[in-house]
Chain A
Amino acid sequence: MADETMEEGGNPTGVVKKFMYVNRRAPYGTVYPLEGLEVVLIGAAFEQDVSMAFVDDGVYQLKKGQDTAETGMKNFSPAYRALEMYDVEKLYAEKESLEARGLTQDDLLVSVEVLSTAELTELMEQQDVILNY
């Protein structure tokens, strides 16, 4: 990308859209969760209304105490704690997905708003853009 021209990101058009990134996969085994997180971190420069939803095995992405030593993959989970500094503050986890996996808020490394499937559906309907990872 052209070097210094984009340093501040910003939003010259002033149009703010609602973007929701939906994370459905376990953190390792595919590259989607890491790539999706990078898109969020890069996209954060453009001052949009960004949220992330964690559903199905995607809730494992936020699990505390991940140890990837034996997989040879990098444990990127600490990066979720940096989201706040990127002004990505709306994090949602689906209640049913957490319950099915025996997880509660206490098991997660960031604080999230827990929503039922119905509540999350409603929130999705309000979005301009939904990206699935």
Chain B
Amino acid sequence: MALEINGKVIETDEEGYIQNLNDWSPEVAEKMAGEDGCELSDNHWEVINFLRNYYQEYQIAPAVRVLTKAIGKKLGPEKGNSKYLYELFPYGPAKQACKYAGLPKPTGCV
């Protein structure tokens, strides 16, 4: 599979995660979200940017449980809970947000 952004073809795996993490740009996230019928708000970007920083630091995509806890610590309890994150990313907060953020699929279930 692949995405086309401004005439450039970006390879993705069969689940839509980009193959080369350096190919990421905000347009990649916009495009993926558009294909899922989702428009990215500031709240989405907050999580996407959080994940990109997390990956930069630890070189892993966090499990959803860890993501929820870490978001709570950074952004407050009203955001660090499953309900809030599932409303933003109904396909599973870690899985869907990691995909938009250009990270590999998180090890774990969601």
A residues lining the B interface (CB < 8 Å)? 1-9, 38, 41-42, 44-45, 74-79, 81-82, 85-86
Contacts and interface: CB of A to CB of B under 8 A. Distances in A.
B57 interface: yes
Nearest to A81: B58
Given A78-B58, A82-B58, A85-B69, A3 B109 contact: yes
Taking residues whose C-beta sits less than 8 angstroms from the other chain, chain B's interface range is 10 to 19
A85 B108 CA distance: 15
Given A7-B109, A7-B110, A86-B66, A41 B92 contact: no
Contacts of B108: 9, 41-42, 45
Interface of B: 57-60, 62-66, 69-70, 82, 92, 107-110
B86 to A, nearest CB: 9
A79 B110 contact: no
Nearest to A44: B63
Contacts of B58: 78-79, 81-82
